A and B are shown apart, each in its own frame.
Chain A
Amino acid sequence: MAVMRVNPNRMELMRLRGQLNVARRGHKLLKDKRDELMRQFISLVRRNQELRLQVEKLLREYNHAMVLARAVMPEQVIETALYSGYDNLTLQARRKNLMSVQVPEFFAHDQTMLEDDVDDKTQKISKELKRSTTYIPYGFSGVSGELDHAILILRKALPAMIELATVEKTTQLLAVEIARTRRRVNSLEHRMIPDLEDTIRSITMKMEENERANTTRLMKVKDLILEKEIRERRSRNEKLFWKNEIS
């Protein structure tokens, strides 16, 4: 129960009623938004977990393979072999609007992808990467097969990693948005709307009180006037009476 500090008059009452209407409508909308965000978030987070388990499993395999590779080859050989592949991996980044939250989407970049329809992205990513799963960025002489194995495992992990990047970023952004929306809903529900209601009630009550005070005052005044009238009339009648008696 917290009444705002406003003058109890009709203007304020109208203003507050308008505010209350807006607050109620906003509350309903935000609540719907929050529910929908939650729904999206839940399905996304499940996918996120799946992908993460998948990626972690593959990377663990890769780590094992890499240990083997390092065991059979000197460090320098591995490093030189891998340096020959230069930084050429680029992804296409798109923005998507998910419940008015801007979220990124990453795709593996390929020239052929631009030409045909880009809709079915996971299929495209896996198709493109399948073509390149056998691609090894270094010459085979002097490099043992263990390193090839490790790199191939990484290649296999790449589509999942790209999707993980998209999904995990989206979950993070959604989580932030959900927290923000929930705070708004709660502040409207538990603070703004009750406050407005209390204030409106107190203003109406004060105005009714004023109304009653006014009525009683008018009645009192009317009584006073009547009394005066009666007294005047009585004295006039008395005078008339004595006049008649004498004459």
Chain B
Amino acid sequence: MKLVKVAVIGDIDSVLGFRGLGMTVIITDNPIEAYKKLEELVKMQYGVIFVTEDLAEKNPAIFENHKEKLEPAVILIPSSRSDKQFAMNYLHELVKKAIGIDILKEDNNIT
């Protein structure tokens, strides 16, 4: 059992409020800079890092690089600027890759 810190990376509009929750907030619009910051955070014992979708979309290395590692958990959150459902689509993609069919999509069709 250990303690980990939580960080948020994204544009100012989407992430500023997280400071009010006590998370470390890193404000950037640049996907490359976001990646660098993320790597720094990983070294500093951050266990959970939330990244806005549009940054991750522009630089897939942000979430691909740590996918197979136990920590950190890089989790995508929607940003205020775009509503592209990138994270949801990524989840669908993951399911399709893992079990061959997209069970989540089927659910949507039925309901």
- Among B2, B87, B103, the residue within 8 A (CB) of A42 is B103
| Complex contact A93–B78 (CB within 8 A) | no
| Complex contact A166–B73 (CB within 8 A) | yes
B23 at the interface (CB under 8 A from A): yes
| Complex contact A154–B47 (CB within 8 A) | no
Q: Which residues of B contact A173 (CB under 8 A)?
A: 68, 70
Number of residue pairs spanning A and B whose beta carbons lie under 8 angstroms apart: 145
Q: A66-B80, A172-B94, A176-B67 are in contact. Are A158 and B21 (CB under 8 A)?
A: yes
Residue of B nearest to A106 (CB): B48
Q: Which residues of B contact A46 (CB under 8 A)?
A: 103-104, 107
Task: Determine the interface band of chain B, counting residues with CB < 8 A from chain A.
Answer: 35 or more
Q: Which residues of B contact A88 (CB under 8 A)?
A: 22
Q: What CA separation (Å) do A75 and B3 show in the bound complex?
A: 33
Q: A52-B87, A60-B78 are in contact. Are A175 and B94 (CB under 8 A)?
A: yes
Q: Which residues of A contact B21 (CB under 8 A)?
A: 85, 89, 151, 154-155, 158
Q: Which residues of A contact B48 (CB under 8 A)?
A: 91, 106, 162, 165
Q: What CA separation (Å) do A38 and B104 show in the bound complex?
A: 14
Question: Which residues of chain B from 1 to 34 have a CB within 8 Å of any chain A CB?
Answer: 1-6, 13-14, 16-24
- Among B3, B17, B97, B99, the residue within 8 A (CB) of A109 is B3
Q: Mark A145-169, 1 if CB is under 8 A from B, else 0.
A: 0000011001100100110111011
Q: What CA separation (Å) do A175 and B103 show in the bound complex?
A: 14
Q: What CA separation (Å) do A45 and B24 show in the bound complex?
A: 28
A171 at the interface (CB under 8 A from B): yes
Partner-contacting stretch, out of A10-18, A21-29, A76-84: A76-84
Q: 8 smallest A-B Cβ distances: which pairs?
A: A89-B22, A169-B73, A175-B98, A63-B80, A82-B19, A151-B20, A88-B22, A90-B3
